[in-house]
Structure 1
Amino acid sequence: MQQATLSEIGAGRTHDVINQSAPLVDVNLYQGNRALRDALVHHLGASFDDRELQELGALAGSAHMQQHARLANVHTPELRTHDRQGRRIDQVEFHPSYHALMEAAIRHGLHAAAWVRPAHGHLLRAAGFMLFTELEPSVLCPVSMTYAATPALRANPALHAAWFPKLASTVYDPRFIPADRKSGVTMGMGMTEKQGGSDVRANTTQAVYEQDTPWGRCYRLAGHKWFFSAPMCDAFLVLAQAPGGLSCFFLPRWLPDGTVNALHIQRLKDKLGNKANASSEVEFLGAQAWLVGEEGRGVPQILEMGTHTRLDCALGTAGLMRHALALALHHTAQREAFGRPLIAHPLMRNVLADLAVEVEAAIALALRLAHAFDAEGDPHEAAMRRVLTPVAKYWICKRGSAFAQEAMECLGGNGYVEERGEGVMARIYREMPVNSIWEGAGNVMALDLLRALRKRTGTGADVVDALAAEWAAGRSADARIDRRAAQVLQRLEDGVEEVEARRLAQDVALVTQACLLRRHAPEPVFEAFCASRLEADWGQAFGTLPAATDFEGILARAMPV
């Protein structure tokens, strides 16, 4: 057979694009997420109304909104400290796509639906939060803080009455104007200072009492915040040292008299990920702020906010994990290597199935925690909320970065390349560490678990007894759960040293996840989880499921479309 010449082949043909996967767009992220839907059915019953989640899933998976996510990360926020005449303005400018994403999140109530929905508000909002995270997590920082600010504001009834109606509004209003002229408002927070980090009691920002007002006791603040999240929010909860000790304050951008508060933005943080969100360093130069709660009770007061944002860290990471898995499955089903699709190769199937099991377990644990937030007044649920908040925040977020790296490997070099924001997998990988660090890194969460286990909740329910009750059904259903649960409960009985706290958090998470999967996951998922996570030789690397695993069943369930 005569060989073709170079001119006959044509130079352009060497650039034909073949054997590349199509983008994962215009899919309903809710409809394709069987793990999420089954977990919701477990908590709410098969007849619950999921029309809002169907709508949000279609929106989050659309090519149109995915383009907004790309642009918001490529065209990052810009700080303008002064106008051209030299006047101090302290404003952050965002790309229009950022505002489009914020509008969608606020319209779907991800910032406040839990406080206005009559039943299951936290759980349904949690599901929506996970879906939106698959689209774009950065804008969910101010959304999460607005959600979390409401219970903390209740300690100042006047402020709560004045601000909650607009905090609960589903109208996004980005204008930099006084709050009483806006259709809706958002809130941020500022705790961290240079010298303290997680040790907020080392904060040096000072608060000096000024006068009583219709909003309560007003103070003047002087100091700084090293991490001040979402500085274009309308108000913030901050910590400062008052005469009575470290206290929580409400600090608005605009004052009741219509003037701008003395909050100066020094610079925006240049971060590894979370690029679309503006994180900043600020100074308070006599800024006015109102006391929330009592002087000296700042840490427990603002931790009321932190408890809810820690829930969102777990939810957000679970959502990112699900989208990374969806991208890996979508790619490997289309990309061929060595004569067949990547997903047909046995070792790749093991990796993908293992990732799918991890996602299912993360979703189950995160939603179980959200369910506990809905059960106000229930002693058992109060105890589970107290113990599972640090456990879920620790374990799900700790698994996130390794998960994203493994999912990226499934795409090979295509996963590593960003190409001006088009590489969604790379964006997910850079995003993963923030939820693990924000609101308390791994050691802080492990220590908080120890505190929870050593104390009784406000309702009088003992958290160790609550854990035993939570695991009882799972222990009777499977010997592996029973064995690991018995070991954990015995360690709690004997006493756990601080040096063992991370291992304890891991084991509490694994036993709880196994019990949840026993209740609402199919047998192949449950069996794979127990055969790997509860066995003594588990090395935590992905792709090490036993050969007898039902890979076909697990992968079919996890496919995004």
Structure 2
Amino acid sequence: MSQAPDVWNFATHEVTNQPAPLADVNLFSGDSALREGVAREGAAAGLAEMEAFGAACGSEARLELGRLANAIPPQLATHDRYGQRIDVVSYHPAYHALMRGAIEAGLHAAPWRAPGPGAHVARAARFYVQTQVEAGHLCPITMTFACVPVIAREPGLAALWLPKILSDRYDARDLPLSQKHGATVGMAITEKQGGSDVRANATTATPTGDGESWRLVGHKYFVSAPMSDAFLVLAQAEPAGGSAGGLTCFLMPRWLEETRNFFEIVRLKPKMGNVSNATAEIELRGALAWRIGAEGRGLAAILGAVAMTRFDCMVGSAAGMRAALAQALDHCRQRMAFGRALADQPLMAVTLADLALEAEAALALVLRVARALDASDNPAEAALARAAVPLGKYWLCKRAPGLASEAMECIGGSGFIEDGPMPRLYREAPVNAIWEGSGNIQCLDLLRAFSRQPETAEALLGEIEQARGVDGGFDREAAALRAEFAAWAACPEGQARAVAERLACALQASLMLRGAPSAVAQAFCRSRLGNAGGRLYGALAADADLDAILTRAAPR
């Protein structure tokens, strides 16, 4: 019988050919398209600050906060241990750290505190960078940001609420407004029976008799960030004494002066993604609220907020594309297969380059719309924003899930494992297409703008035509769009997506021709124009300059 050796070595192999994690990188200065786009669209003065912000967001410690905020989701406590109703949602400390960083960076308020050229561009760039750390906490940030022009319509409410909303101090304490250093605002609009059809809302609003406040009764089906200090609510005002009644906008605080307001959190939604951000169903049981705008004009009152949240959906989707691309490209540049790096394999290089074109074109559209928001006092820029927001909300949010899926496939099995960031990016990708009006709603809104405000179509077409004379294929598409221009307003609803897709690709192509290197812009035009819709990634022309595209997109 053989004698066992004194020392056993159970090691079977040495770990090799595994990429280093993508961390401790500068998410701003390491993104050539972002750095150039911020300067091009009018925010060059803030480049140094944004570089510091990009370094902080790309640090391993900040990225770990994003992981933790999703690994340990929010928890609802409806009652305390004595049986008293409290309706408190608790979050992991990582979530609060991310919220604090976002508010200190002005993502919730900077363009309102200091409006002017480049303000929305700079804020969008920071939002884009912060989203790559973690997307869910930015839902309350964008709702708070969007509510400002709505609340500003009512001087009394503005004087009370805006100083705390515009504050750069994050205050997560569950207290009345008077005791807090800063405030956030959510939205309670969607109901079970209506969804996007908010005119079907059944929540009622009855005046209390004091001439100011109303009592709300009803059920709201999707209320994100239920620990917000106040909510914009749509409810049916009951006509009385000659008043108009109808769907009306209200501001409903979480706390009154001494007591909680009269609503209850029924449950938190078990969402497939966006886990760090609590989304609730709530019951309004005579909750006190204050009217914003005229009775029956709730949709008009809240339209400004909706435009801002839809814009942030664009920013978030573009950022998600960049984050997924960065993971795939960094992995493939380090991982070896068949004797060379994955990124050097011909078909993989084409696929990665195609993803890079998509991500850069998404960013270009976001930053151009941000410049239009900065110049909203210019009628032409306001008209462009009116058309480009629903157009971009539709197209970018639709493209994000497919890009995330393709990026995950580039990484392979490791990309499918929960230890890494790709599953979270993938589950996050569909959210923006669904929230704040689905894709069909955006396309119909675009047609509505063309019909009711013809200047929006002209502004969009004029923006597209600014790149004429650079690329023959683009010129032909621009000419075809001009020839069809008169028919847009009368387009059948069933063709709205087809129109939107052509316009989105043409607008992105125009921006790329004017802002990206020639090799990048031409590859985008040749692969997208005339092919909007169902094309898959990885089918670029044989002469596309892959090295130029991939070098530009490299995250480190």
TM-score range, shorter chain: over 0.9
Which residue in the other structure is 1:86 paired with?
83
Which residue in the other structure is 2:262 paired with?
262
CA contact (8 A) 1:392 1:509 kept: yes
Task: Give 1:90 shift.
Answer: 0.4
Compared CA separation, residues 189 and 349, structure 1 to 2 (3 A): same
The aligned amino acid for 2:52 is E
Residue 414 (structure 1) aligned with residue 414 (structure 2):
yes
Compared CA separation, residues 139 and 224, structure 1 to 2 (3 A): same
Compared CA separation, residues 406 and 536, structure 1 to 2 (3 A): closer
Which residue in the other structure is 2:242 paired with?
none
Stretch deviating more after TM superposition (527-536 or 348-357): 527-536
Which residue in the other structure is 1:443 paired with?
440
Distance 1:440 1:7 in 2: 69
Which residue in the other structure is 2:464 paired with?
471
The aligned amino acid for 2:220 is K
Distance 1:387 1:8 in 2: 73
Task: Give 1:7 shift.
Answer: 11
Q: How does 1:265-414 map to 2 (within 5 A)?
A: 265-414=265-414
From 76, 82, 89, give the equivalent of 2:73: 76
Which residue in the other structure is 1:251 paired with?
252
Percent of aligned pairs sharing the same letter: 49
Q: What SS does structure 2 have at the residue aligned with 1:44?
A: coil
Task: Give 1:537 shift.
Answer: 9.0
Q: What SS does structure 2 have at the residue aligned with 1:301?
A: helix
Distance 1:310 1:538 in 2: 21
Q: Structure 1, residues 66-109: CA drift from partner, whole Å, max 9, x if none? A: 11111110110000000011000001011111111111111101
Distance 2:7 2:445 in 1: 70
Which residue in the other structure is 1:183 paired with?
181
Distance 2:483 2:209 in 1: 55
Q: How does 1:517-556 map to 2 (within 5 A)?
A: 517-536=512-531, 539-556=534-551
Moved over 3 A (4+): 5-10, 535-539
Distance 1:493 1:190 in 2: 39
CA contact (8 A) 2:502 2:532 kept: no
The aligned amino acid for 2:483 is Q
Distance 2:69 2:529 in 1: 41
Q: Structure 1, residues 36-64: CA drift from partner, whole Å, max 9, x if none? A: 1111121127x523122112111111110
CA contact (8 A) 2:505 2:532 kept: no
Distance 2:196 2:446 in 1: 16
Q: Structure 1, residues 478-523: CA drift from partner, whole Å, max 9, x if none? A: 2222221232333331331111100111111111111111111001
The aligned amino acid for 1:104 is G
Compared CA separation, residues 7 and 509, structure 1 to 2 (3 A): farther
Q: What SS does structure 2 have at the residue aligned with 1:49?
A: helix
Q: What SS does structure 1 have at the residue aligned with 2:486?
A: helix
Alignment length (residue pairs): 544
Residue 482 (structure 1) aligned with residue 440 (structure 2):
no
CA contact (8 A) 2:46 2:122 kept: no
Which residue in the other structure is 1:152 paired with?
150
Output the TM-score relative to the length of structure 2: 0.95
Q: What SS does structure 2 have at the residue aligned with 1:388?
A: helix
Distance 2:515 2:109 in 1: 28
CA contact (8 A) 1:240 1:246 kept: yes
Residue 100 (structure 1) aligned with residue 97 (structure 2):
yes
Distance 1:114 1:6 in 2: 72
Q: Structure 1, residues 347-405: CA drift from partner, whole Å, max 9, x if none? A: 00000000010011000001111111111310100100100010000000000000000
Q: What SS does structure 2 have at the residue aligned with 1:11?
A: coil
Distance 1:485 1:431 in 2: 34
Compared CA separation, residues 554 and 156, structure 1 to 2 (3 A): same
Structure 2 residues not aligned, in runs of 5+: 239-244
CA contact (8 A) 2:226 2:278 kept: yes
The aligned amino acid for 1:324 is A
CA contact (8 A) 1:488 1:504 kept: no
Residue 206 (structure 1) aligned with residue 204 (structure 2):
yes
Distance 1:447 1:141 in 2: 24
Distance 1:475 1:58 in 2: 38
Task: Give 1:178 shift.
Answer: 0.7
Which residue in the other structure is 1:452 paired with?
449
Task: Give 1:6 shift.
Answer: 12
Distance 1:310 1:474 in 2: 26
Distance 2:465 2:458 in 1: 11
Q: Structure 1, residues 291-345: CA drift from partner, whole Å, max 9, x if none? A: 0001101112122111000000000000011011111111001111111110010
CA contact (8 A) 1:471 1:512 kept: yes
Structure 1 residues not aligned, in runs of 5+: none
Residue 13 (structure 1) aligned with residue 23 (structure 2):
no
Distance 1:338 1:128 in 2: 40
Compared CA separation, residues 18 and 109, structure 1 to 2 (3 A): same
Task: Give 1:8 shift.
Answer: 10
Superposition RMSD in Å: 1.7
The aligned amino acid for 2:417 is V
Q: What SS does structure 2 have at the residue aligned with 1:85?
A: coil
